[in-house]
Amino acid sequence: MGARLPQREAGAMITVSNLTKNYGPTTVVDDVTFRAAPGRVTGFLGANGAGKSTTMRMVCGMTAPTSGSALVHGQRFRDLPNPGRQIGVLLDAGAQHMGRTGRETLTLSALQMGVPRRRVDEVLDLVQLDRKAARKRVGAYSLGMRQRLGIANALLGSPTALMLDEPANGLDPSGIRWMRQLLRSFADDGGTVLLSSHLLHEVELVADDLVVIAEGRIVARGEVAEFTASGARSLEDVFFSITAA
């Protein structure tokens, strides 16, 4: 798996309370409430278009909520003195400067966050991008390599929380296993992980808790074991169990 994650203090709690987002007459996130706790991986599960990404964008201040709040360790993201040192975020692996190398991308982020440059090598090792890959321009990366670089960027500030939107996209089976091990280790060391996916089987092997969203509303939440014990193996199974209850 590469270098181990450093020991850290208890992760920052992510608290979402009555969060709503309207675009004109359309409500895309409707009164959403949940929390992601330290030492646990929280899977945020829903079909494409269910409201996962919009919710996460509100958590990290990229989208202003119509009402409600999203807090990281009791503060709005924009009020955190150095956000990248508290919560690492990956929302879109494709939203990276295609003309920079992987190392340049991380070095610029390190300068912005005020972390030592040696941390760049540490996170490159963590995500298993070797020196050759680090020297390549991001535009030449596969989607899986961009995901690894995005995770490296999220880890760069040694944050106590991670929020990742569909991080398995573009990863091969060995890459998915690596990612699960990385996130499990992060949580086991006291960190908080909020992980979105539209596939139950991608999160059940790593998540402790599950929050299910459909058409902008939370329709179920609980420990993963509560869902898988009923035989649910897919998002459709989860929704069937909810509607049949």
- Nearest CA-CA partner of 63 in 84, 40, 92, 85: 92
Among 186-195, 203-212, 230-239, where is mean pLDDT lowest?
230-239
The pLDDT tens digits for 184-197 are: 999 999 999 999 98
For the chain, what is the radius of gyration of the CA atoms? Answer: 18
Q: Is the pLDDT of residue 98 over 90?
A: no
What fold is seen in the domain 14-95+161-244?
Rossmann fold (3.40.50)
User: What is the predicted pLDDT for the residue at 202?
Assistant: 78
Q: Give the torsion through C-alpha atoms of 47, 88, 59, 169, to 10 deg.
A: -10
Domain boundaries in the chain? 14-95+161-244
What ranges make up the beta strands (E) of 65-159?
67-72, 87-90
Q: Is the pLDDT of residue 67 over 90?
A: yes
Residue 5 — very low, low, confident or very high, per pLDDT cuts 50/70/90? very low
User: What is the predicted pLDDT for the residue at 241?
Assistant: 59
Tokens 């208890």 — which residue?
Answer: 10
User: What is the predicted pLDDT for the residue at 76?
Assistant: 95
User: What is the predicted pLDDT for the residue at 4?
Assistant: 44
Mean pLDDT of the chain: 88
Residue of 93 and 64 predicted with greater confidence: 64
User: What is the predicted pLDDT for the residue at 236?
Assistant: 59
Residue 2 — very low, low, confident or very high, per pLDDT cuts 50/70/90? very low
Residue of 184 and 237 predicted with greater confidence: 184
Per DSSP, the three-state class of 40 is coil
User: What is the predicted pLDDT for the residue at 172?
Assistant: 87
Are 102 and 150 spatial neighbours (Cβ–Cβ below 8 Å)? no
Residue of 7 and 126 predicted with greater confidence: 126
User: What is the predicted pLDDT for the residue at 237?
Assistant: 65
- Nearest CA-CA partner of 177 in 202, 195, 143: 202
Q: Is the pLDDT of residue 230 over 60?
A: yes
Other CB atoms within a 10 A radius of the CB of residue 174 amount to 9
The pLDDT tens digits for 157-171 are: 999 999 999 888 888
User: What is the predicted pLDDT for the residue at 243?
Assistant: 46
- Nearest CA-CA partner of 53 in 82, 79, 32, 84: 32
Q: Is the pLDDT of residue 8 over 50?
A: no
H or E element in which residue 151 lies: helix 143-155
Spell out the residues 6+ positions from residue 159 whose beta carbon is closer than 8 angstroms to its own. Answer: 12, 84, 85, 86, 87, 88, 191
Q: pTM (2 decimals)? A: 0.88
User: What is the predicted pLDDT for the residue at 204?
Assistant: 82
Which strands form 14-23's sheet, in the order they lie side by side? 26-36, 14-23, 67-72
